[in-house]
Amino acid sequence: MFAAIRVLTRRGFSTAKVLGAPQQMTVRDALNSAMDEEMEKDDRVFILGEEVAQYDGAYKVSRGLWKKYGDKRVIDTPITEMGFAGMAVGAAMAGLRPICEFMTFNFAMQAIDQIINSAAKTFYMSAGVVNVPIVFRGPNGAAAGVAAQHSQCFAAWYSHCPGLKVISPYDAEDCRGLLKAAIRDPDPVVFLENEILYGQSYPVTDQVLDKNFTLPIGKAKIMRTGTNCTLVAHSRAVELALQASAELSKGGIECEVINLRTIRPLDVNTIFQSVLKTHHLVTVEQGWPQSGVGSEICARVMEHETFFHLDAPVWRVTGVDVPMPYTKSLEIAALPQPQDIVTAVRTVLGGKSK
C-alpha cells in the first residue's frame, strides 16, 4: 500500500501549453508588437510624438522601441502638436511612413489643420499623384478622472472627413491586426485607442501573433450572435454591449453584438444583414449624441431597404450631452453603463422577453 502511495506522490502534472488554447495579450502589447514588426519589416516606418522615445511612451505603448531602433526612428518631440503633426505629414508626402502619436486625441485639436487640410485632402488635390501614408494614433474618448479636456471622443469628428480612414479598435486582436494594416495603408489613418483598455488582456490565437497577420480596414466583426436585437458598438462600448447581452440572455433576449472596428469606411452591410434577422437595432457609443456615430448608423438604415424590416425605431445609447464632469459619481452618470443598454433593448422590444 505504501509503495502505491509513493508512486502516486511522484506523479506530476503537465505544464505544457494546451494545443490550440488561446494565449492572452494586453492591448498595450498588441499595439507595441504591431509597431515593432512593421518597423522591422519596413525601414521607412518611424514613430514621433511626445515622450515616445526615452520615456517609452506616456502609456508605455512604444516601450523598448527607442532602444531597439534609435533616435532616427523613434523621435521625442516638443509639446507642439501642430508642429510635429506637420513634420509627420511632410515626411509621409516625401515617401516615409510615420506613426504620429498624440498623448491624447484631445490634444490633436491643435493639429487638426494638418490632419484634415494637409493629410486628408492632398491625394485628391494632387489628382492622385501624392499619397500620404501616415497613422495618427493615441488614446481617444473617456478615461477616468481626467475631466472635460481629456475625455472627448473624436470618432464622429474624423469620420466626417473624406480622405481619412478612421479605426476604433476594441481588443488585442483588433489593435494588432488593424494597426499593422493602417501602417501599410497608402492613405492617412486616424487610429483611436482607449486608455482604459491598454492594460486589459484578451485571448489571441497563433494566427493573430503571426507577423503577417492583418485585419481588413472597413470590416466589422460579429462578437456574439443573436436573433432578438442588434447592438452596434465600437471601442470600449463593445465591452458594455457584451455585458448587457449577457444580462439580457438570462431573460431569454438574445442580442447580436457587432464590433464596428472601423468608423470610416463604415461596414453598413454587416449591420443591414444583422437587422434583417433581428428586426431591432440599438447603437452604443461613449461619445456625445448629436451628430454621433449612432446618428450616422440610424441615417444609413433609414435610407436603405433595411428600414422596412425594423419592428421598432432605432435607439441610441450614448454619453450624456455635457462636457465630462470631474467628480467620479457624475462621470459615471455621464457615460453609458450596461444597464442603460439593457433598458434600451427592452424598450425597443416593447417589454417582450423573446
- Pick the catalytic residue from 38, 150, 193, 195: 150
Residue 173: active-site member: no
pLDDT, averaged in runs of 10, over the chain (354 residues): 44 43 91 98 98 96 97 96 97 98 96 97 96 97 89 96 98 98 98 97 97 97 98 98 98 97 98 98 97 98 97 97 94 96 97 52
Q: Write down all domains in the chain, each with its CATH number in brackets.
A: 25-209 (3.40.50.970), 221-349 (3.40.50.920)
Q: Is 81 a catalytic residue?
A: yes
Give the pLDDT of residue 145: 87
Q: Give the active site residue among 37, 38, 50, 81.
A: 81
Residue 11: predicted pLDDT: 41
Q: Of the candidates 261, 272, 247, which has an alpha carbon nearest to the alpha carbon of residue 340?
A: 247
Query: What is the predicted pLDDT for the residue at 22?
Result: 74
pTM for the complete prediction?
Answer: 0.92
**Structure confidence at residue 17 (pLDDT):** 46
HEC states along the chain? Answer: CHHHHHHHHCCCCCCCCCCCCCEEEEHHHHHHHHHHHHHHHCCCEEEEECCCCCCCCCCCCCCCHHHHHCCCCEEECCCCHHHHHHHHHHHHHCCCEEEEECCCCCHHHHHHHHHHHHHHHHHHHCCCCCCCCCEEEEECCCCCCCCHHHCCCCHHHHHCCCCCEEECCCCHHHHHHHHHHHHHCCCCEEEEECHHHCCCEEEECHHHHCCCCCCCCCCCEEEECCCCEEEEECCCHHHHHHHHHHHHHCCCCCEEEEECCEEECCCHHHHHHHHHHHCCEEEECCCCCCCCHHHHHHHHHHCCHHHHHCCCCCEEECCCCCCCCCCHHHHHHHCCCHHHHHHHHHHHCCCCCC
